[in-house]
Amino acid sequence: MKASASLTLDAIDRRLLNDFQRDFPLCPQPFAAIGKQLGISEAQVLQRLKRLMQAGAISRIGPVLQPQRVGASTLAAMAVPPERLESVAALVNSFREVNHNYERLHPFNLWFVLTASDETRIQEILQEIQQRTGLPVLDLPMIESYHIDLGFPLW
């Protein structure tokens, strides 16, 4: 999903998006802790996150676990006709096991990462996506691990 072109971000929104990609507070009330750091209430943090999600600026809030430490994971790719890209991406995003997906300028133009309880569940999801879209899904399981920091400075 693409972010709304009309989305206006203030300084607090920018900090919320930028500062908590890493080091998310691991405590009983993480959004209250974030609010304290930003100088706003827990309710305001949650309200802002809801608005940012509805606008497509963020798609998910949750952990990214080290591959194969807990459960199973894979990278997958699809060659999606451009006119179907948004609808196929929305289907892929509908699975809670999808960490993230992204468009690439390549014949395989939709890429996504799945993390599930085990390899059987990974294969079930890939097969369901393939069946529901009618498009083949390329499964690219990890052969060798490398640490790639997925937090990118936005501003």
Both 77 and 33 in one domain: the answer is no
Is the pLDDT higher at 148 or at 102?
Answer: 102
The DSSP annotation for 57-116 comes to: S----S--PPTTTSSEEEEEEE---GGGHHHHHHHHHTSTTEEEEEE-SSSS-EEEEEEE
pLDDT surpassing 60 at residue 112: yes
pLDDT surpassing 70 at residue 27: yes
In terms of residue numbers, what domain contains 133?
72-140
User: pTM (2 decimals)?
Assistant: 0.58
What's the pLDDT score for residue 151? Answer: 66
Say how far residue 64 (Cα) sits from the centre of its chain: 9
Distance CA 16, CA 120 (A): 36
Residue of 123, 74, 129, 77 whose CA lies nearest to 104: 77
What's the pLDDT score for residue 57? Answer: 83
What's the pLDDT score for residue 60? Answer: 78
Q: How many structural domains comprise the chain?
A: 2
Both 106 and 134 in one domain: the answer is yes
In this prediction, residues 126-151 reach a mean pLDDT of 86
CATH of the domain at 80: 3.30.70.3460
Both 43 and 89 in one domain: the answer is no
Coil/strand/helix, residue 140: strand
pLDDT surpassing 80 at residue 149: no
pLDDT surpassing 50 at residue 142: yes
Both 86 and 119 in one domain: the answer is yes
What is the DSSP-derived secondary structure letter of residue 138? Answer: E
- Split at pLDDT 50, 70, 90, the class of 155 is low
CA dihedral for 27, 145, 120, 101, sign (positive or negative): positive
Structure confidence by residue, pLDDT tens digits, 36-92: 999 999 999 999 999 998 988 887 787 766 656 668 889 999 999 999 999 999 999
Distance CA 9, CA 123 (A): 39
What's the pLDDT score for residue 99? Answer: 82
